[in-house]
Structures are given as structure tokens and as C-alpha cells.
Structure 1
Amino acid sequence: MVRLRLAAIRISIRSAMPLTPWTFVYFAGAVQAALLALALWRRPANRQANRLLSVWVALTGIDLAVKALYWHLLTPEWFRAYRFVALFPFLYGSLFYLYVRALTRGRRFRPGDVMHLAGFGVMLVLNGYVFVMDRAHLQALSARWIAGERSVGAWFDVPLFLYSLSYVLAALARVRGYRQRLRERRSDADRTSLRWIDVMAGFQVVIWCVAIVQALVYLPVLNYGLLFGLVAAWVCAMGWFSLAQPPVSAELPLPTPAPPGEADVPLTDDARYAAVEARLAQLMDGEAPLYLEPALTIGQVARRSGYPEYLVSAVINRRLGGSFWDYVNRLRVEAVRARLADPAEARTILDIAYACGFTSKSTFNAAFKRQVGETPSGYRRRFAAGARSAA
């Protein structure tokens, strides 16, 4: 009690505290968030997704600004605002999920999506007593926070962590499904693999892990200042990745399904499978093989083959192994191997890879190493050494 009274006296005799290093970090993060939110709102690429992201970043900026002002002023009035923004993390996970959904499906926020904000609404009601509390009780509550009691309680922290992390995991599951569907449909799936989403999610998981540790045990390093310092750093990372993101096409429409009962026909009983496989070999082995086209889709291959897309997809998955993306990249790797083994080939390895249809250096290197068992440069050196010894 003495400790609380002393804290209350400090509040009453001082209207402000000196600015701490963390306060500067919070203010800087808030300014960065405001500028980023404005840029994202006006960005034409991925408009629906970026407007959701803009709202999310703006809320984060308000969160940081209110925390900075409260810890500088230490007044009960600002404590009300402090407790209000303390509820914002109940929005962050769900907004991340809605952002990923908008990015992958091109779907704007709809009235029914309000259900994803239910966690914030429930906690707003449960914490409503703080917003109607008289000044004396509010001052005492603020004093406890200043004295070191920074947690509302387990009844608040546990639902917050579980609720928010569940939305982050749901967003990652949606990204995983999106990537799988892209690999089934497009040979340039690496162009829109949404790798920055992994970074955004990873940053959030780190922040939530620090928050969980900070709530369970006291560690001088993992303190409250560091937690929201990481949030300010996250805003800067968001600026880098979100403004550099390429336009993302919504998922392609699903192919026309197989007629009823045809999808259940055993592979050995459908003579068309062999014909489709032969036709694919013809398209991929001609003078101008289709796999050289960087943005090749399974729909384009189906139209060139003269067979329905569902049948071409079934042949690739069941007879040729893997997704459409895997199938095309295997052909591209073999084409690169043939050129690397040619002593007269003077182009760089990357130029050869791009000429054979690859759209990403990392995708090419990974596919080549997985299929051949060595790096492209090592493969080329081995053949060059063999050619010199033969001469």
C-alpha cells in the first residue's frame, strides 16, 4: 500500500516525466505508422488488401502514440486511453488474417466480417468499468501500473495470446493453401508466393512470444519497453515489405470439374490418360517447347493439348508426379543441364536458367540441387573439367 501511495503522490505532483529512450522509439514508430498507413491506403496494387493493412498499421501507430504520451504524462486521463489501446492487440491477429484473405482472394471487407472483430468487442465490454471509473479509483489503478503491475490479469492475457495466435496460424494456413493451388495451376508460382507474409507472421510470433514470457516471468531484458520497441520495429519492417510487394492476382477460377463418376474411373481403365501423356510430351519436346514460357499456366497447356483441364491436371498429378509447377520445373532443369554440359555454351548460368523459363534465381537453384544433387556451378565445372581432360 505504501508503494501505491508513493506512486499516486508522484502522479499528483508531476504532470510529466522526462522523455525516455523508449518514448522516442514509440513516437518514431507512431509517425512511421501514420505515413505508412497513408501510403498503403492510396496504393493501387492489391487495393483491398492494402486498405485493410492500412487500418491495421494506423491502429498500431495510435497504440504506440498513446503509450508514449501516457508514460510521459502519467495522468489518469491518459490512463483511460492507455487501457483502451491495450485492447487493440485483439484486433491485430484478425486483421492479419483478413489482410491475407483479401490478398489471396481479392475480397474486400464485408459486414459479415465483423465477427472477426468479436474478440475486441468482448474485451471492450469486459473492460468497460475502467472507462466509467471515477478519478480517485482511476488514479489508484494507474499507480499500480506505474509501480510495475503491467498486466490486466490472466483472464485477459491468456485469451489474448490464444485468440491472436490462432488468427496468425489461420492466416499462414491460408497462405499455404494458396501456394499449393498456385503450384497446381502456374509454372511461375514463385512470383506470387507471398514470402513477405512469412516475415510478417514471424515478426508477430516473436512479439507474441516476448509478450507471453513477459506476462509469465520477470526478466530484465524482456521488459515492457522492449515489447513495444519490437512493435515499433515491426512497423518499419512492414513499411519495407508492404510497399515493395508486387501485385498479387486473386486465385484463378477452378477448372471445369470432371463429369459425375468420371473422376472415380481407375487410372488403368481410362485410355485417355495415355493419350494425354503422349500429347504433353509432344508439346514439351518440340522445337518450341511450352515450358520455355515463364508464365505458363495449366489452362494454356490444356487448350494447346485439346483436352479438358481437369484431365491434364490428373495426368500430371498421377502419372508424371507432383504438381504442374514441379512437372514444368523438372523439364526446365533438364534443359538447363543440357546447356551447361555443352562446352560451346558461353552464357552465364542465370541467363541460361531464365532462357529455359525460370523466373527466380532461388527457385532455379533449389530445383536444380533437388533434382541433380549438386549446384549448377558445380555441375558446369565438372563437365568443363571433363572436356579439358578429354582434349
Structure 2
Amino acid sequence: MLLAEKLYYFTHGLCCMFFLYASIYLLYGKKTPRLRMVLGGVVVFWFLLEIKDLLLYSSATVRNTYFSTLLLMIDMLAVPACSFYLFELLSTGWMNWKRAFALSSFFILCLLGYAVTASDSWLWILEVYATLYSFAVIIILCFAVRRYNRYVRENYSYTEHLNVRWLRQVTFLMFICLSVWMYSCLRSSWIADSIYYFSSLLLWACILYYSEMQEVVPIADNIKMKKLFSKELTEEKKEEFVLNENLIQALHKSLKEDELFLNPRITLADLAMTIGTNRTYLSTYLNTYLNTSFYDYINSYRMEKVCQLLSDPTCTATMNEIAETCGFNSLSTFRRSFVKEYGMSFAEYRRQMNKNS
């Protein structure tokens, strides 16, 4: 047996075990979060795809054009399956069994059409439709991610484990994985198939890693087609904003005197409840009247606290200690805010202060 063939069997077996373990890990437990269940279901499907590939070990299956094409068309069901998780991630509660069937129905129809007629036309139709479906998903995600990020900045004072910047890395890895898969379909090669299995392992390892840390953002209407090209989630006509001086004073007191911004996980709803108003009024005040987001507004108070600490010449606190003391949820957010405020990194600032002293 060739070394390349042995590598193929090893990587395929590794994928089978990986997806089996990941499925059990994600779906184990009675109170599994919804997003985790959707991801678990997608991983189970990928495990079944890997098990299906065991049929390729039979030389009779490989030589039979009908069965080999049928297996290839089954692989294309992975396209809608992956979109299920992405849609649920960006719009909590959007995915259900009815929508899952609707999104995958044409894929299934083409598969059944080929199974009955053995006509290659069904394969061609499915390939074209899968390409169009992928482009449509990419367009939807571009707008959905923009609205998602806007919502996070308007409602949370931190973005770590809330933002979905990691989707860029995953998209790049998915492009590599699909490219290798397409090459292996056009030109049979033990090495190409092994690289595909390795790339799919890397892809799903990244997805599982980031998903494990991802916090669910309660956005329900982010994947509605009628709002596809809109910048905001709601299209409701906003009432004319009337400035309430008492509420504004209560807002300033809660931040200036009570220093609620020191809570690293404070949200717009928390602050609105504290000052006795609703999140819609507070959001309108920040976005329309002050022309800022809740995220930037709270971090501006945190940076004021940082300035107070650093203005003390006896301050010897480390960057970690200052960030934690001033309410920053992570060092990455602190670094970005610090550079924006001072025009230099924290280390550069300390070196300059030491020279001046």
C-alpha cells in the first residue's frame, strides 16, 4: 500500500473520530443552548458525510459512475447545512425545522432527480444552484454582520466573545477547504483527498473553538429578507426625541459619581434601568443627540478614569491592573481605546513618561 494511500485512510479516520466526538460534546446535556444544538446538528451531518465516504473504499463504487456521482451530490448538502449555523448565530431563534427543510429542499430535489433518472443534467443544475446559493448567503451575511456589529456597539460596553470577527478567518479556511475539495473531485488523488480532510479538520476546529467562547446576542430579526439592505434592525418610525433633563442628570450621576462604567459587563438595558428609563430612550439620546454608540460612550468614561490614574506620577500599576481597575473587559479593548486617546501604545506612553521624569 502506498504511503499516500495510508495517509488518506489515516486522515479520513481522524475526521470520523473528530466529528463523532464533537457531536457528542456539543449535544450532551439536557439544557444545551439553542445555538450549540444547531451547531451540534450540523456537526452530526458532517459526521454522516464522513461515514458515507467509507463507501469509496470499495473499488466497485469508485468504478460505478452512478454511485460516485450520487455520493458527490450528497456532499453538496453541506452547503445549506453550514448556512443553518451562520443564520442562527446572527439571528437568534431564526432557524427551525421548517426553514431548514425549505433551504435544503432544492438540493434534495436534485439529488432525488438524479437518483431516479441517472441524468447528469441534475448534477449540473445542482452545481449551478449550489454556487448561486453560496453567493446569496455571502450577500445576506455581509449585511447581517454589519447590523449585528451595530447592535452590539449600541447595546454592550464590550465586544469580546460577542463580535463575530472570527467569521473572516473561518470564511478564508472554508474557501481553502472548498478549493481542495473541488480539485479532488476533478482529479482523483490520495494526496489531494488527504489535504482536504486536514483542511476540514482545521476549519471545524476553528469553528468549534470560537463557538465555544461565543456569547449569544438576542437578535431575532436580523435575517429577514425585507430588511436585507437596511442598516438597522427596525424600520419603525422613531418618535421625536424630547430631552429630559432629570434623566440626563441621573445618567451623568450614575457614571460620574457612582461610576457604573467600572462594571465590565454593563449593558444599555442595565444603565437604562438604573436611571429609570427604557433602553429605546437612552439609545436615541446617545445615537441621535450625542452622535455616539453605547460602547464608545462607556469606554470614554473608562478612559477618563485611566487618565486620572496616569496623571498621578506615583502610579506604578501595570497595563493589566489599570485596564481591570477602569472596567475594561479585555486588554485588546483597552489597547484600542488607549491608542485612540493618546495616539500611542501604553508601553510607548510609559517610556515617554519615564524620559520626562
Same fold (TM over 0.5): yes
- Cα deviations by residue, 1:216-263 (Å, 9 ceiling, x for unpaired): 9x8999955533442243234444444x3355353499xxxxxx98x3
Report the CA distance between 1:206 and its aligned residue.
Answer: 2.8
Report the CA distance between 1:49 and its aligned residue.
Answer: 2.0
TM (norm. structure 2) is 0.79
Aligned to 1:4: none
**Percent identity over the alignment?**
19
* Distance change >3 Å, CA 247–CA 170, structure 1 → 2: same
Does residue 156 of structure 2 align to residue 186 of structure 1? yes
Alignment of 1:78-117 (within 5 A): 82-103=68-89, 104-106=91-93, 109-117=96-104
Aligned to 2:33: 47
Aligned to 1:233: 202
Q: Check whether the contact 1:97–1:168 (CA below 8 A) recurs between aligned residues.
A: no
Q: Which runs of 5+ in 1 are unaligned?
A: 1-16, 134-140, 142-151, 254-259
Report the CA distance between 1:324 and its aligned residue.
Answer: 0.5
The DSSP-based 3-state class of the residue aligned with 2:355 is: helix
- Residues 357-366 or 113-122, more deviating: 113-122
Aligned to 2:337: 367
Report the CA distance between 1:355 and its aligned residue.
Answer: 1.5
Report the CA distance between 1:164 and its aligned residue.
Answer: 3.0
Report the CA distance between 1:326 and its aligned residue.
Answer: 1.3
Aligned to 2:276: 306
* Distance in 1 of aligned mates of 2:306 and 2:220: 29
The DSSP-based 3-state class of the residue aligned with 1:357 is: coil
The DSSP-based 3-state class of the residue aligned with 1:353 is: helix
Aligned to 2:106: 119
* Distance in 2 of aligned mates of 1:126 and 1:324: 53
Q: Check whether the contact 2:264–2:327 (CA below 8 A) recurs between aligned residues.
A: yes
TM (norm. structure 1) is 0.73
- Cα deviations by residue, 1:276-298 (Å, 9 ceiling, x for unpaired): 54443332211x31211111111
* Distance in 2 of aligned mates of 1:162 and 1:340: 55
* Distance change >3 Å, CA 18–CA 312, structure 1 → 2: closer
- Cα deviations by residue, 1:311-333 (Å, 9 ceiling, x for unpaired): 22111112323211111112212
The DSSP-based 3-state class of the residue aligned with 2:107 is: helix
Q: Check whether the contact 1:94–1:167 (CA below 8 A) recurs between aligned residues.
A: no
Aligned to 1:202: 172
Aligned to 1:280: 251
* Distance in 1 of aligned mates of 2:103 and 2:188: 33
- Bigger radius of gyration among the two: 1
Report the CA distance between 1:358 and its aligned residue.
Answer: 0.9
The DSSP-based 3-state class of the residue aligned with 1:385 is: helix
The DSSP-based 3-state class of the residue aligned with 1:127 is: helix
Aligned partner letter, 1:76: T
Aligned partner letter, 1:60: W
In the alignment of these two chains, the number of paired residues is 339
Aligned to 1:160: 130
* Distance in 1 of aligned mates of 2:243 and 2:34: 46
- Cα deviations by residue, 1:88-138 (Å, 9 ceiling, x for unpaired): 44433333332234345145623343101123212212321477x9xxxxx
Q: Check whether the contact 2:92–2:216 (CA below 8 A) recurs between aligned residues.
A: no
* Distance change >3 Å, CA 188–CA 337, structure 1 → 2: same
* Distance in 1 of aligned mates of 2:126 and 2:12: 23
Find 1:28's aligned residue among 14, 21, 29.
14
